[in-house]
Chains A and B, each alone.
Chain A
Amino acid sequence: EVQLLESGGGLAQPGGSLRLSCAASRFSFSTYGMAWVRQAPGKGLECVSVITNSGGGRYNADSVKGRFTISRDNSRNTLYLQMNSLRADDTAVYYCAKISSGWLGDYFDSWGQGTLVTVSS
């Protein structure tokens, strides 16, 4: 069974930075696209960043464009999300999700347990 384990969440000040990690196991990590999906408290799901299996293609939602950078290290089976210029409305649980194929428009077939990011002074 696919395992995705997020880490790196916590409290950050407005304007600050955090780096999230997602350790993947029990599947061929380098074969699949990956994504970060967030959920603000009491709200719905929002896909914020996706990356191709090779890492050569990276795309962000408008809400985080220019502030968040997704990356991956296929040698370490790890996905990252560098979050800069954090704002209060970035407060959310951030889920790492596996895309079901190498195509970024495909569905998310596995999810991590999530890591909470709180942006507050």
Chain B
Amino acid sequence: QSALTQPPSASGSPGQSVSISCTGTGNDVGAYNYVSWYQQHPGKAPKLILYEVTKRPSGVPDRFSGSKSGNTASLAVSGLQGEDEAHYYCASYAGGNILLFGGGTKLTVL
């Protein structure tokens, strides 16, 4: 299966909002509400920030939110802060046993 499609980059100024899309197919993102998002700072391990499309793990600020429409899931970050500058990866259950990842989006805080 092909990786999910994410824009390579996104940007916003401090305090603004930004959205990152994650496009799959009717066999993965469109078929299941099992989309998760991971934040990765340079040289660090990924960190879970959203799961099951909209749910936030304990400790993740509510500035991070998720949604899904058809075959596209989205991560929204409001009130951008410098610490939000990182790579973001979506992932989706695709009916098999191997989670399918997106190619990643580099978020720059201007």
Contacts and interface: CB of A to CB of B under 8 A. Distances in A.
B47 A111 contact: yes
B45 A107 contact: no
Contacts, number: 64
A105 B45 contact: no
Interface of B: 3, 34, 36, 38, 45-48, 51-52, 57, 89, 91, 93, 96-104
Given A44-B103, A45-B89, A95-B46, A107 B98 contact: no
A57 B96 CA distance: 12
Given A107-B36, A108-B36, A108-B38, A47 B89 contact: no
5 contacts: A105-B99, A107-B91, A108-B46, A108-B91, A111-B45
A59 B38 contact: no
Nearest to B1: A62
Contacts of A112: 45
Nearest to A107: B36
A interface secondary structure, majority:
strand
What 3 A-B pairs have minimum CB-CB distances, sorted nearest first? A107-B36, A59-B97, A105-B93
Given A44-B89, A44-B102, A45-B89, A105 B97 contact: yes
B interface secondary structure, majority:
loop
A88 interface: no
Interface of A: 35, 37, 44-48, 50, 57, 59-61, 95, 100, 104-114
Nearest to B100: A47
A5 to B, nearest CB: 11
A39 B98 CA distance: 15
Contact of B45 (A61, A104, A113): A113
Contacts of A37: 46
A61 B99 CA distance: 9
B98 A50 contact: yes
